[in-house]
Chains A and B, each alone.
Chain A
């Protein structure tokens, strides 16, 4: 049942979110979050210039809750690595911040005019996260 429910969420999300840029961004956040966290609802914190406008799309979704503090979140999408936060999944949305903070779970940024995602290999190994074969190019 659970599997079907997740399937349904993904299919509905794909249909609903197709088109608008911020909707596509919201869908990327959902996908990344679901990869790292295998439960629902997923509590998400966003403090990112690039992703800030996706909140309104995620807020409307029953399976993802937007919280206003990284401490209360399961996963945080942030431009710079937050201080005094431990044991949280930090996904950076700036390339330069990622270069400085290799503890992050991964990063989203633009490179050579294209959007890019990196999943931190060390983080994935340490946290026993299963990455699909098709994502292997993203792992480094």
Chain B
């Protein structure tokens, strides 16, 4: 009897400590990011489900701020644009944005990140960020940064949550999520309502507004090898200073409707995927002075248009594995259609003939990986792109990448050599249909030392871009001289039982030979995830300095959350010190060359909010 009792006691004692720690271990090891991340694809930063649960991010804006070599910024329409430069067109391929491995893009030149970057993202399970040009995948065109967000899965949720958030300036957001199922069949639904009241400004008695109202729906259904993803978003954004000869906007706005339907079949190493994306963007601009000049009408102070964009993609990929060799083949075909309707100038319909409305693209990708032994890996990738633009110039592009990876569980060394092209968007071709592709070349390496509690890494990259597309006095042209970028980033991650510390300083040297200027940008990201008694906390400090523009700022974010049975309450503070880096905006009168400037605009204004969620 004694023996049995002792056995039972010892069992229960050991089990108690074991099972709890095992569940903890499993939640880290079996995090969905471990299934989706592609270490061969380049230099990756992951925000896991556990990180995001503690961060309680309000939008992707908070993630963009933490990516080395990028500064969160917004353009003159208050749309997300980390590469914003006055009077330059945004190139949506610089940052590619994926939802469950589906690239979100609209063909004419709209940038989905601009539309969704400031909206709620409670449907996200984890985020993967692939940094630098070499971090490209087979088939898609090159990109400076790839942001991949993955939605929650019903079989990982098994609950319904209703949540509401209230903040300063009347910010309020409501969400509902529901997901149930098992590994063979599951669903996940999300409804979100964003009412983002932003810090508005007044300039020369004109009100400069940036408020956002949006509604989102996401549905994800999995059944055996099939998965359907539906995402819809519609909203209205006040367009801040918009366009004009002077900063004198009269309530300009952008209304958007974006829709994605993706169907995927996956079995073993075969993946077939088809998606349909369409967007309707209504743009309205009115200025008290002058917006622009049109040879047919003259000067005008009101402009509106309706842009329709559609894209249908079909992709098939297969991986072949022979002993230590892996061959990955992918084919993607894409049909794009876009047109502008109801364009009005000074409230009168105008019929501007745009260059083309259709585009067809075929992309062939191949990737070969050889594992020499357990430690050495060589990866060679090639992508061939053929783009047929209706009634105008066609493009052909080749992208190459060679990578070498060494991994001995203590040290990881990655090195990549990359060559590829950035193609002009249809919007750019409407300005100049003789534009050449921008040619890029990059090399980089990263060394990572793994220890018991995390890792320390050093990343160095060199990027060269020729034929950069930019507006000059001669219109939109390819710049003759090249741009060079050198970057260095050190990252230290310490993972303790429930706590985590990240320290990530970086520096970017840019040499814009065409403009005969150089610039240095510095940044430090510090994050601390800490559990104090029953409170989960997340605090983050992001420092940024742009030497040439003489702009620097520091952003302190803080999240504290606590769970009571089925309720969770949290406090969220963004830019608490109100010292984050600001942006100066200006509009130029081309007749007088006079600049109308508004300085020190907070693109990341202070937010103090309280959220409550109820699980049932």
Q: Which residues of A contact B (CB under 8 A)?
A: 2-3, 6-7, 10, 14, 18-21, 24-25, 27-28, 31-32, 34-35, 38, 49-50, 79, 93-97, 109-117, 130-135
Contacts and interface: CB of A to CB of B under 8 A. Distances in A.
Contacts of A6: 7, 10-11
Given A6-B7, A38-B7, A96-B181, A112 B17 contact: no
B30 interface: yes
B14 interface: yes
A93 B182 CA distance: 9
A18 B18 CA distance: 11
Given A49-B183, A110-B155, A110-B157, A115 B23 contact: yes
A18 B10 CA distance: 21
A3 B10 contact: yes
Given A2-B7, A38-B7, A94-B182, A115 B19 contact: no
Interface string B1-24: 001101110111111111110110
Nearest to B181: A96
Nearest to B182: A94
Given A28-B26, A130-B12, 9 more contacts: A3-B3, A10-B14, A25-B26, A34-B15, A111-B158, A112-B161, A112-B615, A113-B53, A135-B19
A27 B22 contact: yes
Contacts of A112: 157-159, 161, 615
B49 interface: yes
A113 B13 CA distance: 27
17 contacts: A20-B29, A21-B34, A24-B29, A24-B30, A28-B26, A31-B15, A38-B8, A49-B182, A95-B182, A110-B156, A111-B158, A111-B159, A112-B158, A112-B161, A113-B156, A133-B16, A134-B20
A49 B184 contact: yes
A135 B3 CA distance: 22
Contacts of A79: 182, 184
Given A3-B3, A115-B23, A115-B26, A95 B158 contact: yes
Contact of A115 (B16, B30, B182): B30
A97 B186 CA distance: 13
A18 B24 CA distance: 12
Contacts of A113: 27, 49-50, 53, 125, 152, 156-157
Contacts of A3: 3, 6-7, 10
A7 B181 contact: no
B98 to A, nearest CB: 20
Nearest to B49: A113
Contacts of B8: 38, 130
B166 interface: no
Given A31-B15, A35-B11, A114 B23 contact: yes
A111 to B, nearest CB: 5
A110 B161 CA distance: 15
B180 interface: yes
B347 to A, nearest CB: 51
Nearest to B30: A21
B158 A115 contact: no
Contacts of A34: 11, 15
B157 A111 contact: yes
B16 A10 contact: no
Contacts of A97: 182
A14 B18 contact: yes
A97 B181 CA distance: 9
Contacts of B12: 35, 130-132, 135
Contacts of A24: 22, 25-26, 29-30
A65 B368 CA distance: 41
Nearest to B14: A10
A114 B27 contact: yes
Interface string B48-65: 011001000000000000
Contacts of A28: 19, 22-23, 26
Contacts of A110: 155-158
Max chain B CB contacts within 10 Å: which of A34, A79, A132? Answer: A132
Contacts of A93: 182
Contacts of B16: 132-135
A64 B392 CA distance: 70
Nearest to A96: B180
Interface in B579-615: 615
Nearest to A7: B10
Contacts of A50: 182-183
Max chain A CB contacts within 10 Å: which of B17, B53, B155, B159? Answer: B155
B29 A21 contact: yes
A94 B181 CA distance: 8
Contacts of A21: 26, 29-30, 34
B209 to A, nearest CB: 37
Max chain A CB contacts within 10 Å: which of B11, B20, B152? Answer: B11
A110 B25 CA distance: 14
Nearest to A131: B12
Nearest to B155: A110
B44 to A, nearest CB: 19
Nearest to B21: A14
A32 B26 CA distance: 15
A10 B16 CA distance: 12
Contact of B182 (A35, A96, A111, A116): A96
B27 to A, nearest CB: 5
Contact of A7 (B14, B152, B183): B14
A24 B25 CA distance: 8
Nearest to B4: A38
